[in-house]
Chain A
Amino acid sequence: MKIMKTETIINFEKLVSQEKSGWLEKAKWRQDNQAWLEKSALIALKVLRALSDQGSNQRKLADKMEVSAQYINKIVKGSENLSLETISKLEMALGIQLIEVVGFSSFVSYEIPESVQPEIIVSSEIMNILLENKFYSGDNKLNSGEYESFVKAA
């Protein structure tokens, strides 16, 4: 049994490549940089959610920020060491706040740019209510002003 085991190990070792896995080095790096990587991941998550909510995509965001689509793709993978400048550009382009300094509220107002505002499709029943109450100006899509008026009234 022992001889068999030895043969097995010997045969196995013959199959092992000279090339080593890069896993351990990468894992140690991730562990050492875990604090900022965690923040980067949460930002990526929020960016992806905003793009989805706004019916936008990485290409449109890249155009808006005047950066390459490849760079945006790096950001949404959640391992990019983002500068405050880049985070602020992301916030302005997406119209959302991504980070804040604890204890202070931001004085910057974030508005979803007109180009990425979600369109709200309204049912005919709701449309009639809107028309009756003059919240609504025309087509079957509601802009954010009309929607806000409707919500306030509701």
Chain B
Amino acid sequence: MEIVSIFEPYLYSFKYSDEEFDELERLFDEWNDIEMLRKFFEENSKDLIYYHIDIDDVIIETRKEAAALRKKFIDLSLESSPKLDAMFMNLDDSELRIINMSKQKSRRRWLRIYAIRIDTNTFVITGGAIKLTHQMEIKKGGRPHTEKELKKLDICRNYLKEHGVYDADSFNELVI
């Protein structure tokens, strides 16, 4: 695995050896792929019950959300000092971060991008998911694809630590 820059020196992404693209590029390709989205939502249709939305509408909403997220990142890439910290909030385990597009807590927001904070406004993306369940771990009601993202976060964190990328401030500070 390697790390590629999205826009230096602020946003980076992991690129895994078994993937053609880095994680951010892969995620946005998937979130724009109608066939893939349809397959995903058909396989996870039970989780859509809580959202009161059918498969066609959830695909359209997903694309809209992906477009909004894309615009946000493009706009940030044009800023001289992008405030990436404002886009992220902590995951429950207090070490990992999750992107947070919507402060208004819309019920129809399920796209997630997971990242590790390296320094102030500096992040490296480890993956992402369409998260329809409250929890990520299977034993807590999550789904295999969300649990996989937790594992990826763990692998990436260990990889960074092994290479001396460890900062107490980065991993323990919770307040955004």
Contact = CB atoms under 8 A, between A and B. Distances in A.
Interface in A116-132: none
A31 B66 CA distance: 11
Nearest to A73: B35
Given A8-B166, A21-B13, A41-B63, A78 B24 contact: no
B74 interface: yes
A80 B166 CA distance: 44
A22 B25 contact: yes
Nearest to B24: A23
B169 interface: yes
A44 B119 contact: no
Contact of B34 (A23, A27, A77): A77
B169 A77 contact: no
Contact of A24 (B35, B36, B77): B77
Given A30-B70, A41-B34, A8 B6 contact: no
Interface of B: 2-9, 12-13, 15, 21-22, 24-25, 28-29, 32-36, 38, 56, 59-60, 63, 67, 70-71, 73-74, 77, 118-119, 122, 124, 160, 163-170
Interface of A: 1, 4-5, 7-9, 11-17, 19-24, 26-28, 30-31, 34, 37-38, 41-42, 44-45, 48-49, 73, 76-79
